[in-house]
Amino acid sequence: MLAPLEIVDQLKARLGECLADLADQAPRTGAGAGELGDDGVPPLLSLVLPLPRVPTAAPQLEGPLFQLQRAHGSELRAGYGSAIEWAADGPLRLQRLARIGARLRPRWRRLDPDESGLDAFAMLGFAASPDAAPQVEDHLPNAILWVPEIGLTVQQGEAALVLSAAGPVSGARLQRTWEAALERLVPRLYPPLTGPLTAARLQREFAEPDLGGWTALVEDALAEIAADGLQKVVLSRRLDVRGPRCFDIGRLVGALGCLFPTCQIVNLRRNGKSFVAATPERLLRQCGGHLTVDAIAGTAARAEDAERDAALSEALLGCDKNLREHRHVIEAITEALSDCCESIAAPSRPEVMQLTNAHHLWSPIDARTRPGLDVFALAERLHPTPATNGRPRGRAQEWLRVAEPFDRGWYTGAAGIVHPDLSGELWVLLRCARVCGDRAELYAGAGIVAGSDAASEWQETEAKLQAMLTALQYA
């Protein structure tokens, strides 16, 4: 088995061979091919270098990074630095990024000299609201399309690094830049195993709203529902905590992966702050003409006793309030896709998704997309879903903009991977925390429909917050 430094030498040698081959090809090749387009979108070169063994970690290097992984299935995409990126805000944010993606697509040259079958990728992410005014303490743009300088991909037991650069740039400069990147990253892909830290006590410092404010907010929502202004609205809470030590994001991601192996773990870091989520909800997955969307709504607590836990799961499947909440989500997704998709199919009865801290009603919805649809257009149609916003969509957004006591930022936004053909997979950002030093801001919410009870919904949010609180204790 090759040692990490031997792997670095091997990759540097292969990099030199690939760049030499590029130099021997016809003039104006690689990232230097072509002039900067009139639209400001340059050519982009990506080189896939397979790794001889699967990494044991996705290191938390200095600088901007993103990380999306699922322990179940051993899937990972991580990005370090920025080869090129675009930010947008306002109501047309996704349309603007879609136009950039369409212009980039024919200019994105990807080389896979060892025929690994793995490909380059970008990260697409956006906040809950397109409002251009960010929170004072926010560290992420409102929406971003981001091609990393170094991508790390692990799929089905195969792993590779994807080195990317925007042109024009010389081969000599590429070699210097990419060799330095390999030296910085590769040794940290295979760290020695470390034991868990002792669980720390977290101090709750601030809650918005508090229990009284939450009760009043739920009552206002129920009054709006009774007046036929809304069918459903999703209320959220923010909880600020402090730990006895600076939180280690690598350990936090690892703890979340252990606690919630079927969830998508998302880590976005810029400007010294991290936004971390452990979400069970996929906004969409588009592969070719096939589309899958998760409908998740309706929640019950877990119980330590197996017999009691099974009873809670069965009761959730028969609960009228939770089934109505779930039905709103299915209907809204179907309506959003009705004029751009065919063969839309939802299960006649939801399944129960079992997580460590909660049962959820879950219905995977499948459809065939019509030609010309990309991940940007589908995200525009599906976000925000009734599972995070409410129904009717526009009315719920307006009501929440006035009623909720804080700006959600990226909580209930979405993030995921975009492929060079503009297909991809996005996840709704739930069970979130924004982390800096020894402080973390946690977010969770609950759907309110006719028959909801403020105390029960508060307990539901407490159970959801506990997911991140437990992981933070071990970070």
User: What integer pLDDT is reported at residue 177 of this predicted model?
Assistant: 94
Asked if 273 is an active-site residue, the reply is no
| pLDDT top residue among 298 and 192 | 298
Q: Indicate if the pLDDT at residue 342 is higher than 60.
A: yes
Least confident of 191-205, 238-252, 442-456: 191-205
| pLDDT top residue among 38 and 114 | 114
Catalytic member of 149, 224, 273, 281: 281
Identity of the amino acid at 326: H
Domains and CATH numbers, the chain: 4-65+73-189 (no CATH), 204-473 (3.60.120.10)
Q: Indicate if the pLDDT at residue 152 is higher than 70.
A: yes
Encoding tokens for residue 358?
A: 């909660």
3-state secondary structure of 304: coil
User: What integer pLDDT is reported at residue 138 of this predicted model?
Assistant: 59
Percent of the chain with pLDDT over 70: 94
Long-range contacts of 330-334 (CB under 8 A, 24+ apart): 330/295, 330/363, 330/365, 331/391, 332/385, 332/386, 332/391, 332/393, 333/293, 333/295, 333/365, 333/382, 333/385, 334/365
Asked if residues 98 and 374 have their Cβ atoms less than 8 Å apart, the reply is yes
Encoding tokens for residue 97?
A: 């990024």
User: What integer pLDDT is reported at residue 231 of this predicted model?
Assistant: 93
Catalytic member of 232, 404, 425, 464: 232
The model's pLDDT over 27-42, given as tens digits with 9 standing for 90+, comes to 344 433 334 455 679 9
Q: Indicate if the pLDDT at residue 90 is higher than 90.
A: yes
User: What integer pLDDT is reported at residue 196 of this predicted model?
Assistant: 64
Asked if 281 is an active-site residue, the reply is yes
The end-to-end CA distance of the chain, in Å, is 31
User: What integer pLDDT is reported at residue 33 of this predicted model?
Assistant: 37
